[in-house]
Structure 1
Amino acid sequence: MTAPATSSGIPVSRIDPYTDASILDPYHDYRALRDAGPVVRLDQYDLWAVARYDEVYEALHDHEAFLSGEGVGITEQLNKAQHGSSLTSDPPYHDTVRGLVSRHLTPKALREFHTYIQDWADRLVDELVERGEFDAVTDFGQAFPLALVPDLLGWPVDEGRERLLDWAAAGFNAFGPLNDRTRAGFPLLAEMGAFLHRMSVPGNLRPGSWGAELVADAQAGKIADELLPALLGDFLAPSMDTSVSALSSMLWLLGSHPGQWELLRQDHGLISNAFNEIVRLESPLRGFTRLLARDRSLGGADLAAGSRVLLLYGSANRDERHWKSPAEFDITRSNAAEHLGFGHGIHGCVGQALSRLEGHSLLNALLSKVRRIEVGEPVWRLHNTIRGIESLPVVLRA
C-alpha cells in the first residue's frame, strides 16, 4: 500500500503499523515498508518510518542528530509528558542519570546474583514440570521479573507489586498513537506516578536497595528531586515487559522448533546465541522514535530538522538485506548478536543484561531438566510498542 512519493522522492505509504491486524501479524507490513525504500512517509502520523537494518542502526548511533530528549513516542502531546528518564533524554544529562541506573544493571554488577537467579530458575522449572500444562506468559515469563525486580528495587511488600505489570504496559503503550490502547492506560499511568512519588520519599524503600540508593543520590544533590520518580520508573518498565516478552517467546520458539531445541540440548554452549536469536526473531520492542536536531540524510533520503522518525527494530531484525533467511529460527546464526531487539547505541535497553541473565538461567534450568517442550497455539498481545504473546499453553516433559 504505497502511494505516490513526496516532492523529495521519498515514498508515501498508507500502511498503519498500529492497527490491530498489523500488531498481531506485523511482518508483512514491515516487509512492505522495507521494500518501499530506506525511509517511508507515514502521513497519518506525520512521521517518517525507517524499517531497514542499516538505516535503523545508523540512526541509533547518531544521538546528536536523532534526539531522544524530545520524547521517543509518536504523539507529541504524550512526548512532552515523558521527561526525566534516561530513555527520554540526551547527553550530558542522559550520561549522568543512565549511570545512576545502570550501575546496578551491568553484567559485572549482576554477577553476585548469578547463583541466586539460577537457583530460582531451577525451582521454577521443577514446579512447572510437576504441574503439567501451564501458561508461558503468566506462569513463566511474568513469574521471574515479578519475583525478582521488586525486591531488588526495595518496593514495599504490601504496595504496588500487583500493579507493576499493568503500569509497565501502560507506560509502553503511551509511546504509540493516541488510540484506545493508550487512553485506557491513562488511569494506570496516574497510579504509577503517584506510587513513584511516594517511593521517592526517604524511608519508603528498603534500606540498601537499588531504589533507596537513588533516593539517597537525590538527597545528596546528584539529581533533582523532581526527576527522581522518572528515574525510579527507569528500573520498572525495562525490567518487566521486555523480559516477559523475550521469555515467553523463548518457550514458543523452542517448543515449535524441536530440531533447534535438540540442537541446544546437544550443545549448551549455544545458550547465549540462542537467546540472541530469540530476541532477533521476536523483538520485544517494536520501535521508538527520534526527533531530528538538524537536516540529515538517511539512506539517501533528505530529512528536515524537526522531523520525527520512527525506527522499527522488529522490522530491522528481519531485513533480508542484512540477514540470511531472516524469517527462520536458527540458534547457530553467526551474526545473531547483531540484533537490535533491545535497541542499540547509548539508549540500548538499560535492563538488557538482567533480561539476558534471566533468559540464560532459565535455559540452563530447562536443559538440565526437560527433554521436550510441547506448545499449543499462541494468542498474540495487542500493544502499541511491545511485541509479545498474550497466552500460550505449554507442557514440559522431563
Structure 2
Amino acid sequence: MATAATPQSDIDPYSEEAILSPYEPYRALRDIGPAVWLEQYQVWAVARYRDVYDALHDHETFSSGSGVALNDAINERMRGTTLASDPPYHDHVRGLINGPLTPKALRAHREDFERLADELVERLVRQGSFDGVADFAHVFPTSVVPDLLGWPAEGREHFLDWASAAFNTIGPMNERSLADVPLMKGMWEYIAEMARPGRLREGSWGADLVAAADAGRIDPKLLPSLIGDYLLPSLDTTISALSSALWLLGTNPDQWDAIRRDPSLVNNAFNETVRLESPIRAFSRLVTRDHDLSGRFLPAGSRVLMLYASANRDERYWDNPEVFDVTRADARNHVGFGHGIHGCVGQGLARLQGNALLTALAKRVRRIEVGRPVWRVNNHIRAMSTLPTTLHV
C-alpha cells in the first residue's frame, strides 16, 4: 500500500497515551497531509475535516459493507447491521429501525423527557455533590432508552460493559480488543435470546421488530443486529456527550451564563460539545476503487481510518477550534455523529436527552462546579469514568 514517497507516521492513535491525550497526535497527523499511512495498522489515517466530510458523503468509494472496524473478526460479526452495510441493503435495514427515531416520532416523547430531566436535576441539587458520569450522564441512556426498547429489568446490568466492549473491539485487535471479545460473544447471545417473541415489552420498539419478523416483514435472522442497532449506539455515545457537556460548562462558566441568559442556545451547546469532545473517535472504511483524496492517491482495497474527533478540531475549517463556544454559528457542521447515509440514526434521540437535561439545568442551576475528570481508556470512545460535580443554585 505504501511506497518510500508515501507520507507515513509512527503515531499510534491506539496507544494509551494518545487515547488519554489525543489532540496533539491528531494535529500532527493533520499537518502531515490529507491521508497518512500508519504502517503499524496498514491503514490510511484521514484527519482533516474536509477530507473526512467528503469521504463520508462518497459511500460508493468509501464502503462500509466490509465493516468499519480495524480487524477482520469484528467486521465479519458486524455484517447485517446498519453500520456495516452499503446501499441498497443499508437503506432497507435502516428503514426497519428508523420509524421511532424520526423527528416527528421523537416529539411524542419530549414532554416525558423534560419532566424526567426536571426531576433528576432537582434530585441532584438536593444531593449537592455527585458523580457527573454515574449520577447524571448514565441515567437517561441506561433507563429511558431501554424502556423504549422494551427491555426487562433483567440484563440491564450488562449494558455499560457491552457498550464499552463493542467500541473497544472496533479498534485493532490489541490487548483491549482481545480482552473484550468474550464479552461481545456473550452480548450477541443474550440479545438473540431477547429477540424471541414475548421477551420484550409489548408495544415497545423492540417488540414491534419481533412482531414484524413474526409476520414475515423482517428476516428473523436480522433481529439481534437490529435490536443491537437500537441499544448499543444509544449508550456510550450519549453518556460521553452528556458528561462532556457538564464538564465543559463547568470549566467555562461564561458559556454557562450565556445559556442561562438565552436557553435557546442549548441545542447549539450540545452540538458544540459533540464537536469539541467527539464521543466516537473514528470509524474505518474500505476504498472500493482507486481514488484521489486531496492529491493523495488511495488504491482500491485500502482501508482508511476516518478520524472524526480530529476533523472536528481542524484549524483549516474551524475558527479557534480549541475554544468551547456555545454561540458558534457552524457547530452543527460537526461530524461527531458521522455524516452522509451513515449519519447516526439515533442522534435525534441523543439530542432529545441532551436538550432536556441541559434545559433543566439552566432553569435551576446558577453554577456548575466540576473537579478533574478521569478519562477511560477505550479504543474508540472518548469518555470519562468519573467527574466530581456540585450544582450551585
Q: TM-score, with normalisation over the residues of structure 1?
A: 0.97
2:14 corresponds to 1:18: yes
Shift of 1:78: 2.1
Name the SS of the counterpart of 1:206 in structure 2: coil
Cα distance in structure 1, aligned partners of 2:183 and 2:146 = 18
1:145 pairs with 2:141: yes
Contact 1:238 1:350 in 2 (8 A): no
Q: Which runs of 5+ in 2 are unaligned?
A: none
- One-letter amino acid of the counterpart of residue 379, structure 1: V
- Specify the code of the residue in structure 2 equivalent to 1:187: P
CA distance in 2, matches of 1:220, 1:10: 54
Q: Which residue of 1 aligns with 2:386?
A: 391
> Are positions 1:353 and 2:348 aligned together?
yes
Bigger mean CA deviation after superposition, 112-121 or 97-106: 97-106
Question: Paired residue for 1:279?
Answer: 274
Supply the AA of the counterpart residue of 1:244: I
Name the aligned partner's letter for residue 329 of structure 1: F
TM-score, normalised with respect to structure 2: 0.98
Shift of 1:9: 3.7
One-letter code aligned to 2:193 = R
Percent of paired sites with the same residue: 58
Does the CA contact (< 8 Å) of 1:104 and 1:210 recur in 2?
yes
Cα deviation per residue 1:112-162 (whole Å; 9 max; x = unaligned)? 1000000000000001111111111111111111110111111122x2111
**268, 289, 292: which is aligned to 1:297?**
292
Q: Which secondary structure does the structure 2 equivalent of 1:360 belong to?
A: helix
Which residue in 1 is equivalent to 2:308?
313
Shift of 1:222: 2.7
Q: Deviations over 1:163-198 (max 9, x none)?
A: 111111111111101112112212221221111111
**Deviation string, structure 1 residues 352-374 (Cα, Å, up to 9, x no partner):** 10000000001110011100000
Residue 74 of structure 1: aligned partner:
70
Aligned length: 393
Task: Say what the alpha-carbon RMSD is for the aligned residues.
Answer: 1.2
Partner secondary structure for residue 55 of structure 1 = helix
What is the match of residue 200 of structure 1? Answer: 195
Alignment of 1:1-398 (within 5 A): 6-7=2-3, 9-157=5-153, 159-398=154-393
Greater mean deviation of Cα atoms: 341-350 or 25-34: 341-350
The Cα shift of 1:10 comes to 3.1
Aligned-residue offset at 1:100 = 1.2
**Any idea what the Cα deviations from partners look like across 1:332-384, whole Å, max 9, x if unmatched?**
11110000111111111111100000000011100111000000001111000
Q: Distance in 2 between matches of 1:132 and 1:187?
A: 39
- Could you tell me how far apart the structure 2 residues matched to 1:84 and 1:44 are? 29
Any stretches of 5+ residues in structure 1 without a counterpart? none
Once residues 8 and 289 of structure 1 are traced to their aligned partners in structure 2, the CA distance between those partners, rounded to angstroms, is 24
